[in-house]
Amino acid sequence: MTVQRVSRSSRSTAFKEVRSRLRSRGLRWTPQRRALIDVLSATDGHVTGAELVELCRDRDPETTPSTVYRTLEVLEEIGLVKHSHGRDGRQEFHIAPASEHGHAICENCGEVRELSEGDVAGLVGSLGKRGFAVDLSHLTVGGLCPRCGNSGVPLA
Amino acid sequence: MTVQRVSRSSRSTAFKEVRSRLRSRGLRWTPQRRALIDVLSATDGHVTGAELVELCRDRDPETTPSTVYRTLEVLEEIGLVKHSHGRDGRQEFHIAPASEHGHAICENCGEVRELSEGDVAGLVGSLGKRGFAVDLSHLTVGGLCPRCGNSGVPLA
DNA sequence: TTTTGTGCAAAAGTTTTGCAGATAT
DNA sequence: ATATCTGCAAAACTTTTGCACAAAA
Q: What is the pLDDT of residues B76-104, one digit of tens each?
A: 999 999 888 877 888 999 888 777 888 88
Which residues 5-24 on A are within 7 A of strand C at the CB atom?
22
Residue B29 contacts strand C, CB under 7 A: yes
**Consecutive H or E run containing A149:** helix A146-149
Those of residues 67-106 in B touching chain A at CB distance below 8 A are 85-91, 102, 104-106
Q: Do A122 and B122 touch (CB under 8 A)?
A: yes
- Class at the top of the CATH hierarchy for domain B8-95: mainly alpha
| Model confidence at B155: pLDDT above 50 | no
How does the average pLDDT of chain B come out, rounded? 83
End-to-end alpha carbon distance in chain A = 11
pLDDT band at B51 (very low <50, low <70, confident <90, very high): very high
Q: Quote the CA–CA distance of B132 and B130 in Å, as a whole number.
A: 6
Summarize pLDDT for A50-92 with one digit per residue, the tens.
999 999 999 999 999 999 999 999 999 999 998 888 778 889 9
SS3 assignment, position A50: helix
| Distance of C1' in D11 from CA in B65, Å | 14
Instruction: Name the CA radius of gyration of chain B, rounded.
Output: 17
Dist CA A97 CA B4 (whole Å)? 31
In chain B, what are the domain boundaries? 8-95, 102-143
CATH numeric code, A102-143: 3.30.1490.190
CA B62 to chain centre: 25
Question: What are the Cα distances from residue B149, in Å, to A47, A58, B75, B78, B79?
Answer: 30, 44, 37, 39, 36
- pLDDT given at position B2: 43
What are the residue ranges of helices labelled H in chain B?
Answer: 17-23, 31-42, 49-59, 65-77, 117-129, 146-149
d(CA B83, CA A90): 15
- Bases of chain D within 7 A of a CB of the protein: 3-10, 13-18, 23-25
Cβ B80 vs Cβ B96: under 8 Å: yes
pTM: 0.74
Dist. CA B31–CA B132, nearest whole Å: 42
